[in-house]
Amino acid sequence: MVLAAAAGAIALVTVAAVCIRAQPSARQLHVCHAGSLQAAFAELGRAFAARHPNVKIDDVSGGSVSLARRLASGTQACDIYASADYSNIDLMLKPAGLAGYTVMFARGRMVLAYLATDPKADGVAAAGNFTPPLAVPAVASGWYQKLLGAGVRVGGAHPFVDPGGYRAHMIFELAQSYYRVPGLYNALLEHYTIASPAGVLGKDFSFQFTYEHSAAAAAQRNAVYRYARLPDVIDLSAITNRSAYAQSRVTIPGLGIPGAASSVTIVATPAAWGLTIPRKSVNTEDAIAFVNLLLGPIGTAALNAAGPAPITPAIVSRDDSGRVPKSLKGLAIE
């Protein structure tokens, strides 16, 4: 009887072990994206998880250029790479053989942010109601003089690691050309400071160039947060100003891997977010499903709610169109 009971117990344990081994393990999807996409991608991640409960999303947010370098070096797995500047894919990942195509899926504009309670910002915006997104004042005439005041700091990301950083520098250069003020670029650059993630607007710096959708979200959280719109010839928002923006360019270090260029020159373009499924992706099936969700009604709704503004349908160049997976939907060839 004892031997029979023991044998039965062993059989039950064996069956249980086989069942445990037979259960499918959760697949992992590494979604690497710009910090400016955090809110929209968080909502998209929840929608994806509801449809694919057996897939675990590894949400990785950071500076787009920094993420590209980590992808290239193999220190960060990325099944999807979504950048705040589509040209990071075109100029960095493609030449290194890490990507075959770029999908432009969202656009936005840069604005000047400050606090209503900061005396250094007094008068930087024209008169008018501030009830975003319906009413946002423009910058005042000569607004850039406020940024050149004694002790004034303009905070932002490092231009070598984040498009938000190098776009601020592009705005400096475009402002010099637009306002025809010799030396304005260098004068503004002297007031630019690399802001830490813990940096506080109104305390560590008085002004910041940021994306309008990010500024609008900050204004909802903080009653004294303000932002003003720049002229469209310098705010990187208008497709019709593409040739004017192209007057400005920034050179940054390359990917830092063998065979890649040591530096990359990025020409200013209308601000547009781009994505690709890298050739190093180990989970392309789920990556395609995630991108299809992003490019469909659910992703469009998430981008409309949190920003940046969706490009519908998303755009892929004619040269890239042959390398895009056939199962990716909702794309227009340009």
Q: Is the previous residue joined to 133 through a cis bond, with omega within 30 degrees of 0?
A: yes
Pick left, alpha or beta for residue 110 (phi over 0 → left; psi -120 to 50 → alpha; otherwise beta).
beta
Instruction: Using pLDDT thresholds of 50, 70 and 90, give the confidence band for residue 275.
Output: very high
Strand order in the sheet with 331-333: 55-62, 27-34, 80-83, 272-276, 103-107, 309-316, 331-333
Q: Which residues contact 13 (CB under 8 A, 6 or more apart)?
A: none
What would the pLDDT profile of 32-72 be if each residue is shown by its tens digit? 999 999 999 999 999 999 999 999 999 999 999 999 999 99
pLDDT at 301: 98
Binned at pLDDT 50, 70 and 90, residue 217 comes out as very high
Q: Could you tell me the pLDDT band of residue 25, with boundaries at 50, 70 and 90?
A: low
Q: Are 27-107+272-333 and 110-242 in the same CATH fold?
A: yes
- One-letter identity of residue 224: V
pLDDT tens string 141-160: 999 999 999 999 999 999 99
What pTM did the predictor assign? 0.92
Confidence of residue 132 (pLDDT cuts 50, 70, 90): very high
CA 312 from centroid of its chain's CA atoms: 18
- Domain range list for the chain: 27-107+272-333, 110-242
Q: Which CATH superfamily is domain 27-107+272-333 in?
A: Periplasmic binding protein-like II (3.40.190.10)
Is it the case that residue 244 has pLDDT exceeding 60?
A: yes
Q: Choose which CATH entry (1.10.600.10, 3.40.190.10, 1.20.1250.20, 3.20.20.70) describes domain 110-242.
A: 3.40.190.10
Q: For helices 297-306 and 284-295, what crossing angle results, to 10°?
A: 60
Q: Does position 8 have pLDDT exceeding 60, yes or no? A: no
- Burial track 262-295 (b if 16+ CB lie within 10 A, e otherwise): eebebebbbbbbbbbbbebbebeebbbbbbbbbb
Q: What is the helix, strand, coil percentage profile of the chain, to 5?
A: 40, 25, 40
